[in-house]
Structure 1
């Protein structure tokens, strides 16, 4: 976690790097013999500006480097020498190259942002945020992708206000990539439709099983089966009380299987104990923050979280 904080601090001040390198180059030129040149630092300052600054900032860095280098040659009496001309031409050439790299990085960043916007739109369409409240129940949900540049993966959650009661599901699709996203879309779509028409939970479960089997057959991946293949016994429903003030936390294994550098699993029970009265959103924020501290910011699996709180009517 300390290393992650150090990188964030470095990123915050990174835009000052070109100026720092130019200042360092001046100090080296002024404090060393005439035969020593800081040409490498002038070039480094210009090249570092390409990914950190705008095109204007990159060009200005090159212009300043060229002027400072020329002033140094003039100060030491080398302004008309072949060495001075060669070094100044090198600095000018590096400025042109850095400007080209700046534009190249800009367009690639624009493409990446476009892809991220599309991914965010897909996430909102496939995995919409649940309602904040349905009757006495309050909801909060979070989705954390394993990859920082991804917005959706193979985990899912759904909340439906059905005629037969509020119905919720959380799941983890086997596999990665677009195949997992497709399976998530199938599962969510089936649950939403079936929750409105199936009066029993066993019927709803059967509809989900049929959708998974059909998706497996159509995709051709016969090793991915529904949960029904794991149990040949009759389906049953367990009923437990959900008293006022209680909270139910639903999560996928990306939360509990997170490990630190020593391989120790994340302590979910210990973390929840100190945040049970904080409310559903605060509880999820605390869980994610504590897990991040536990793993040092590393995440190896997608993670879906859903908290349901039976709140008093006046809260």
Structure 2
């Protein structure tokens, strides 16, 4: 139970306690008995039907005790209080039943989406060509905000090809779009001679399905054995390069391009960016759920300042350290899915 839920769970008891204390202090001149119905009214916010009934019974008992204390046991004020509390308790029971039904439906939808996502996002190989790879995926815990974050690593004809993307929207529709993107990428990555050909195949597959209002931000990358890295950025957060000597930099695209799936805009695609990527160098590809994660003070996650966490010899251990730090920074359930893919040029 979260801190907010704990506070909401205590609210009915706190309110009834305050009202009872006020009634005792005010004496028989002022009657607060009917206000005890506030307790059962708040009971439907959290918990089950039994808890709501229990709070209603406590409110009735308090009303009778206070009426006895004020010598109002058979007075109209007491009768009105009992009727009000009973009515509000009955309404609260119905509200609790409706909330629990919606929560079960939401949990079922989220469960289906999570299963589909786990099937879709299969584990990446720990070794791919001349690279070592590690992946981390942290789902948003709020409601059914399962997202369309995606990633894949494929060894192609001229190097290791990867994609990291983020589908606009949430839920099963986002997972379906992610499946379309990954299916097209997996097929094209083996066949196309260059990265632009791969992206063109993905774009074509998306444009057959999307309406023009939906889109997918993505980074496509290809690591060549000759020590270079080619990047195509479709409206996605810039990758973070960590050099073997500890230097870090975000690789901004030479030309900004719209996300995939927006061919209707008739805007030219990105120009491939090529950078050195030698032994010991690393590149971190991620979705916006990482850099847009905020702490309780509203500060964004300082990804560049945390690059030192990726110095571990094992890429999986390094990426897990970064994930743990991200969760600790937020200190609450993430509001958006956060996917990270770390590629490291191996030392032979």
TM-score (norm 1): 0.74
For residues 107-186 of structure 1, what are the structure 2 equivalents within 5 Å?
Answer: 107-131=101-125, 137-142=132-137, 149-153=144-148, 155-160=149-154, 166-173=160-167, 175-176=168-169, 181-186=175-180
Q: 1:90, 1:145 → 2: CA distance?
A: 41
Q: How far does residue 298 in structure 1 lie from its aligned partner after superposition?
A: 8.6
Q: 1:286, 1:70 → 2: CA distance?
A: 53
Q: How far does residue 66 in structure 1 lie from its aligned partner after superposition?
A: 0.8
Matched, 1:247 2:286: no
Q: CA distance change for structure 1 residues 265 and 20 in 2, over 3 Å: closer, same or farther?
A: closer
- Equivalent residues, number: 294
C-alpha contact (below 8 Å) 1:50/1:101 kept by paired residues = yes
Residue 277 of structure 2 aligns to a residue in which SS?
coil
Q: 2:333, 2:47 → 1: CA distance?
A: 27
Residue 27 of structure 2 aligns to a residue in which SS?
coil
Q: How far does residue 131 in structure 1 lie from its aligned partner after superposition?
A: 4.6
> Which residue of 248, 259, 262 maps to 1:224?
262
Q: 1:311, 1:242 → 2: CA distance?
A: 6
Residue 158 of structure 1 aligns to a residue in which SS?
strand
C-alpha contact (below 8 Å) 2:23/2:33 kept by paired residues = no
Q: Which residue is equivalent to 1:86?
A: 80
Q: How far does residue 56 in structure 1 lie from its aligned partner after superposition?
A: 0.9
> Which residue of 307, 320, 325 maps to 1:281?
320
Matched, 1:37 2:56: no
C-alpha contact (below 8 Å) 1:255/1:303 kept by paired residues = yes
Q: How far does residue 258 in structure 1 lie from its aligned partner after superposition?
A: 7.0
Q: How far does residue 46 in structure 1 lie from its aligned partner after superposition?
A: 0.9
Deviates further, 158-167 or 209-218: 158-167
C-alpha contact (below 8 Å) 2:286/2:339 kept by paired residues = yes
Structure with greater proportional helix content: 1
For structure 1, list consecutive stretches of 5 or more residues without a partner in the other structure: 1-6
Residue 249 of structure 1 aligns to a residue in which SS?
strand
Matched, 1:99 2:93: yes
Q: Which residue is equivalent to 2:247?
A: none
Q: 1:106, 1:207 → 2: CA distance?
A: 46
Q: 1:60, 1:260 → 2: CA distance?
A: 37
Residues 230-279 of structure 1, C-alpha deviations (whole Å, 9 max, x = no match): 26x8x797663233xx4321124554577899999764322314553461
C-alpha contact (below 8 Å) 2:292/2:301 kept by paired residues = yes
Q: 1:61, 1:220 → 2: CA distance?
A: 51
Residue 305 of structure 1 aligns to a residue in which SS?
strand
Q: 1:310, 1:103 → 2: CA distance?
A: 56
Q: How far does residue 141 in structure 1 lie from its aligned partner after superposition?
A: 2.2
